[in-house]
Amino acid sequence: MNHNNSILFDGFQLLTMEPGEVPYGWLKNHRLLVEDGMITWIGRENPPAGAAHATTIEGDGKFLSPGLIDCHTHLVYGGNRADEWEQRLNGVSYEEIARQGGGILSSVRATRAASEDELFQSASKRVIGFMKQGVSTIEVKSGYGLDLESELKMLRVAKRLDDELPLTVIATLLAAHAVPPEFASRSDDYIDMVCKEIIPASVGMCQAVDVFCESIAFDLRQTERVFRAAADHDLKIKVHAEQLTNSGAAALAAEHGALSADHLEYLTTSDCDFLAKHDTVATLLPGAFYTLQEKQKPPVAALREVGAAIAIASDSNPGSSPMASILMVANMACTLFGLTPNEAIAGLTRNAAKALDATGTAGTLSVGKNADLAVWDIASPAELAYGIGHNPCESVYIRGRRI
């Protein structure tokens, strides 16, 4: 045991985010011991012997939570799409821009043109911004390459982010994000390439495979082909589903054992049963709902009713959700979708960990988990979702080391 790495957090109010009757898993007057980057004890009295060698950090009543988890981002990309945003504000629809070859394909052109290092440098800034807000685990999707080499380039950038920055970066392959221009009107041929070339080449570089199932992207049959190819290569699956229309992709993904189904504005109450039955996390993305000025809200009451786990995330991307504030996501999830602050923070901790198959190491203050912690200068937990654009994160620890 390297006692230099031991810290005793004393005098904090712990938001353990463990599920149960106590909102936020809130523990007052408890202490938390970190040894060698892990949480080794949580209690009131009689800490283990290791505490005697620990550096004590006095909380003065401040709050200590698990590091936040952003379980859905597209934050590796070239260029930006502020001009398209301006077009939309002048009345051109998101779908129309996509059909004009803009939208995702605009970012595809910029991402293919960018070097791996340029993509790493711009993505690093976005990731560091989230870390300053208490994020200690983040998911990063490919999906702006749409050919073998460019998709692998994006996954290499995600790996470099994980290697060179202190937080945990979990990569997802989203080659099935849009039909690339060289496959225009030949979407089935592109899905062939995704299944037979890109997925096999991505093994070892990503945890899951994701698909954009939507009227402007891929249909249910194509989506299922990608799910099967992912399963054939022992990769987990996720899906962008029911964002602009209801396709049934969320229910299909749940039946295929998906970690999560994401967006879900057009999810039906019967779809909710599938998510709960198969323990697939419902990931809500209020930044995209807000940016696209969507009117249809995800069925939060129905998700609660069936006991589905609800996560929330930034969906950080240059088109539908140029979101850089993780607590703004919590505020929007409450104000726009009707989540409670407790549900929103659970959506950024334990349920987000579940959406990334990371519940063994992150998402709650629990003995045996990584000492990924965030210290908050707030007077009550609800303030985490209450402030609009405010960042009360005072310090972040990742594997027990202050960032």
Q: Write out the residues near Fe ion by the rule CB under 5 A.
A: 315
Name the minimum Å distance from CB 347 to Fe ion. Answer: 15
| Residue 319, contacted partner among Fe ion, ligand DI6, none, CB below 5-8 A by kind | ligand DI6
The CB-of-175 to Fe ion minimum distance in angstroms stands at: 14
Looking at residues 164 to 223 of the shown chain, list those that interact with ligand DI6 (rule: CB under 6 A). Answer: 177, 212
Four-residue CA torsion sign, 380, 382, 387, 390: positive
Tokens of 44: 């009131």
Q: Which of 64, 191, 198, 288 binds ligand DI6 (CB under 6 A)?
A: 288
- The site that binds ligand DI6 (CB under 6 A) totals a number of residues, namely 13
Residue with tokens 């402007």: 216
- The closest of 125, 122, 198, 212 to 155, measured between CA atoms, is 198
CB-wise, 294 or 315, nearer to Fe ion? Answer: 315
* Beta-strand runs (E) in 197-327: 208-211, 236-241, 260-263, 281-284, 310-312
State the nearest-atom distance from the C-beta of 177 to Fe ion, in Å.
8
Between residues 285 and 327, which has the closer beta carbon with respect to Fe ion? 285
Q: Which is nearer to ligand DI6, 96 or 279 (CB)?
A: 96
Q: Does 320 bind ligand DI6 (CB under 6 A)?
A: yes
Task: Give a three-class secondary structure readout of 125-170.
Answer: HHHHHHHCCCEEEEEEECCCCCCHHHHHHHHHHHHHHHHHCCCEEE
Q: Out of 319, 341, 347, 363, which residue is the one contacting ligand DI6 (CB under 6 A)? A: 319
Our CB check for Fe ion shows the closer of 224 and 315 to be 315
Least distance in angstroms from the C-beta of 16 to ligand DI6: 32
Q: Which does 107 bind (CB under 5 to 8 A by kind): ligand DI6, Fe ion, none?
A: ligand DI6
Residues in Cβ contact with 57 at an 8 Å cutoff, skipping those fewer than 6 apart: 7, 8, 9, 10
Integer CA distances (angstroms), 56 to 39, 59, 97, 179, 263, in order: 14, 9, 55, 55, 42
34 or 261: whose CB is closer to Fe ion? Answer: 261
Residue 243's binding partner, choosing from Fe ion, ligand DI6, none, with beta-carbon cut-off 5 to 8 A by kind?
Answer: ligand DI6
Q: Which of residues 25-64 bind ligand DI6 (CB under 6 A)?
A: none
Q: Which 3 state secondary structure label does DSSP give 247?
A: coil
Q: Which two tokens stand for residue 164?
A: 């060179």
Q: How many CB atoms lie within 10 A of CB 277?
A: 13
Site for ligand DI6, rule CB under 6 A: 74, 103-104, 107, 177, 212, 240, 243, 288, 317-320
